[in-house]
């Protein structure tokens, strides 16, 4: 391995994702923040890899219709654990 990843890196990835989603729809932080009912500062922090609440992240993902995909990803992970031990 050696390719271990830090929490900070994941936060930056998440920030990049949120920014890409927003850019893709060509809306400003200002506008999106208003739509989500959060401050522009909070949104900027999320996009810049600061440490927001899970709620803030999920609000953004919900707006861009990414909640279902994420939920599927998570549930698959959970299911693979609760299964009778993948015998092979």
Residue ranges in contact with DNA by CB under 7 A: 22-23, 28-30, 37-42, 44-48, 50-53, 55-56
CA distance 2 to 56: 32
Q: Which is nearer to a second copy, 34 or 66 (CB)?
A: 66
Q: What tokens were used for 36? A: 């989500």
CA-CA distances (angstroms) from residue 52 to 1, 38, 67, 73?
A: 30, 12, 17, 21
Residues that bind a second copy (CB under 8 A): 3-7, 9-11, 13-14, 16-17, 20-21, 23-24, 51-55, 57-59, 62, 66-71, 73-75, 77-78, 81-82
């Amino acid at each position: 391995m050696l390719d271990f990843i830090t929490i900070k890196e994941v936060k930056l990835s998440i920030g990049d994702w949120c920014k890409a989603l927003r850019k893709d729809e060509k809306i400003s932080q200002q506008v999106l923040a208003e739509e989500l009912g959060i401050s522009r500062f909070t949104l900027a922090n999320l996009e810049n890899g600061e440490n927001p609440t899970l709620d803030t992240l999920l609000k953004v993902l919900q707006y861009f219709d990414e909640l279902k995909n994420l939920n599927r990803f998570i549930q698959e992970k959970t299911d693979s654990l609760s299964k009778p031990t993948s015998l092979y």
